[in-house]
Amino acid sequence: MTADVIDGKAFAAKIKLDVAKQVVILKEQHGIVPGLAVVLVGEDPASQVYVRNKNKSTKEAGMNSFEHRMLPDVSEAELLDLVKKLNEDPAVHGILVQLPLPKHINEAAVIDAISPDKDVDGFHVINSGLLATGGQGMVPCTPQGCIMMLKDRLGDMSGLEAVVIGRSNIVGKPVAQLLLNENCTVTMAHSRTRDLATVVGRADIVVAAVGVPELVKGSWIKDGATVIDVGVNRIEKADGKTRLIGDVEYDEAAKHASAITPVPGGVGPMTIAVLLKSTIVAACRQAGIEEPEV
């Protein structure tokens, strides 16, 4: 068996196109221009790339993009003050503070200062609580992107065995919660899991979000499983150049899986597309209107 490749780039392009159409309707029919504020503290190179891409995509979708850059030694109080201003700004419908933050800033305090209605990352405890209790909060972008790709591929996922590897607040925990909401039987595996090979081997759905290059061996994958690889690991090749690889041993896994996401070009492009979609959701909820149908 050779797995189908799940094309995250094409999927994300379709979402972005729909978002751009929704923006036109919101402008024409409601006079609303959805706005996303992105806050970047410091000069982490990977974060700078993410933030640049977010701003570009936001503008391409016809939305307002508000970019706030702060020096690495900014105080927590100054950052909290900016978040407060963004909470109060009616032109800002979504707020994203790029993580990680410098060590001297309490990340949880900053996330909890963001208005839950504008928390397009879905990281606020109110939103994680709503996700856990079946409420209508803001849902984290990467996990939501994973579920959209799985649903597109599998349709009804009721009763399927899903194994999530990694227990981060950003991906592992919310993706497990979303799979549970889809009626999967969910196992959360992590660095202390015994016999990961056996745990992965029973999964119909594997979501790898652990940040360890090729931790998940291709031979572990059950024949016909669907594999979502959230890992983005930069490794050095023999010639000194670098390349990106996932958390799953791709070539070998593709011999067993029925479908698999590549790295790059799988989950990665979905995150920003879902972020734009979440900004639309936030703008509509704040205005008390339904999301435009496109």
| Catalytic (active-site) positions | 54, 98, 121
Q: How far apart are CA 85 and CA 244, in angstroms?
A: 38
How many Å apart are CA 75 and CA 82, to the nearest integer?
Answer: 11
Nearer to ligand GUN, 141 or 270 (CB): 141
Using an 8 Å Cβ cutoff, are 128 and 174 in contact? yes
Question: Given the rule CB under 6 A, which residues bind ligand GUN?
Answer: 96-99, 121, 141-142, 170, 271
Whose structure tokens read 């397009």?
Answer: 120
What is the amino acid identity at position 44? D
**Gyration radius from the chain CA atoms:** 19
Nearest approach in angstroms of CB 177 to ligand GUN is 16
- CA 49, 55, 59, 62 torsion-angle sign: positive
Q: Considering beta carbons, is residue 3 or 97 the nearer one to ligand GUN? A: 97
Copy the structure tokens of residue 254.
Answer: 């593709």
Which residue in the shown chain puts its C-beta closest to ligand GUN? 99
In whole angstroms, what is the distance from residue 250 CA to residue 257 CA? 10
- Nearest to ligand GUN of 92, 141 (CB atom): 141
Residue 38 or 189 with smaller CB distance to ligand GUN: 38
- Least distance from ligand GUN to the Cβ atom of residue 96, Å: 5
- Provide the minimum distance between the beta carbon of 123 and ligand GUN in the complex, in angstroms, as a whole number: 7
Q: How far is the CB of 213 from ligand GUN (least distance, A)?
A: 17
Question: What are residue 97's DSSP bridge partners?
Answer: 39
CB of 31 to ligand GUN, least distance (A): 29
Task: State which residue, 46 or 294, has the beta carbon closest to ligand GUN.
Answer: 46
Query: What residue type is 188 in one-letter code?
Result: M
Packing angle between helix 45-60 and helix 8-30, nearest 10 degrees?
50
